[in-house]
Amino acid sequence: MQIKGVFKQTGERRFLRTLISQKYLLLLLLPGIAATFVFSYLPMYGILIAFKQFNPLHGIWGSKWIGLQNFKELFDAVLFWRAFKNTIVLNLYQILFAFPGPILFALLLNEIRNVVFKRWMQTVTYFPHFLSWVVVGGFAVAILSPNTGVLATITEWFGGERYSEFLLTDPKAFRTILIVTELWKNMGWGAIIYLAAITGVNPEYYDAAVIDGAGRFKQALHVTLPAIMPTIVVLLVLRIGNMMGSDFEQIYVLYSPNVYEVGDVLSTYVFRLGLFQGKYSYTTAVGLFQSIIGFTLIVLANRLSRRAGGALW
Partner 1 sequence: MFNRLIIVFMLLIGASMLLPFVNVIAKSFSSNAMVMTGQVGFIPQEFNLHAYREVFRNPMFMNSLKVTIIVTLAGTLFSLITVTTTGYALSRKRLLARRTVMLYFLVTMFFNAGIIPNFLNIRNLGLYNTIWALILPGMMSVYYMILVKSFFEQLPSELEESASIDGSNDLQTLAFVYLPISKPILATIGLFAAVHFWNIFTPGVMYIQSQSLFPLQLIVQMMIFTQSSVDAQTMAELDLQGTLGTETLKMAVIVVSTLPIVVVYPFLQKHFVKGITLGAVKA
Neighbours of 290 (CB within 10 A): 20
Is the CB of residue 224 less than 8 Å from the CB of residue 209? no
Which listed range, 37-45, 65-73, 75-83, 171-179, lies at the site for partner 1 (CB under 8 A)? 37-45
Which listed range, 62-70, 86-94, 196-204, 221-229, lies at the site for partner 1 (CB under 8 A)? 196-204
- Our CB check for partner 1 shows the closer of 94 and 137 to be 137
- Our CB check for partner 1 shows the closer of 86 and 110 to be 110
- Our CB check for partner 1 shows the closer of 83 and 288 to be 288
Q: Are strands 52-55 and 63-65 parallel, antiparallel or unpaired?
A: antiparallel
Rule CB under 8 A: say whether 217 interacts with partner 1.
Answer: yes
Rule CB under 8 A: say whether 27 interacts with partner 1.
Answer: yes
Backbone torsions φ then ψ of 64, nearest 5 degrees: -70, 140
CA distance 33 to 19: 16
- Our CB check for partner 1 shows the closer of 139 and 206 to be 139
With CB under 8 A as the contact rule, the residue among 5, 7, 40, 213 that binds partner 1 is 40
Which listed range, 68-76, 78-86, 264-272, 301-309, lies at the site for partner 1 (CB under 8 A)? 264-272
With CB under 8 A as the contact rule, the residue among 4, 8, 13, 41 that binds partner 1 is 41
Q: Which of residues 156-195 bind partner 1 (CB under 8 A)?
A: 156, 162, 184, 188, 192-193, 195
- Our CB check for partner 1 shows the closer of 2 and 70 to be 70
CA distance 94 to 180: 10
Helices 171-199 + 133-144 axis angle, to 10: 130
With CB under 8 A as the contact rule, the residue among 132, 202, 277, 296 that binds partner 1 is 132
Q: Which of residues 230-249 bind partner 1 (CB under 8 A)?
A: 241, 245, 248-249
Rule CB under 8 A: say whether 221 interacts with partner 1.
Answer: no
Q: Which of residues 65-84 bind partner 1 (CB under 8 A)?
A: none
Helices (H), the chain: 2-7, 10-21, 23-36, 59-62, 69-76, 78-93, 100-110, 115-126, 133-144, 150-157, 171-199, 203-211, 216-219, 225-241, 248-254, 260-263, 266-271, 280-308
- Our CB check for partner 1 shows the closer of 2 and 130 to be 130
- Our CB check for partner 1 shows the closer of 12 and 111 to be 111
With CB under 8 A as the contact rule, the residue among 68, 117, 160, 306 that binds partner 1 is 117
Q: For residue 171, which amino acid is it?
A: P
Written in H, E and C, the secondary structure of 62-90 is HEEECCCHHHHHHHHCHHHHHHHHHHHHH
Mapping DSSP to helix (H, G, I), strand (E, B) and coil, where does residue 280 land? helix
- Our CB check for partner 1 shows the closer of 2 and 10 to be 10
With CB under 8 A as the contact rule, the residue among 176, 202, 277, 291 that binds partner 1 is 291
Rule CB under 8 A: say whether 121 interacts with partner 1.
Answer: yes
CA distance 96 to 189: 18
CA distance 165 to 158: 17
Rule CB under 8 A: say whether 225 interacts with partner 1.
Answer: no
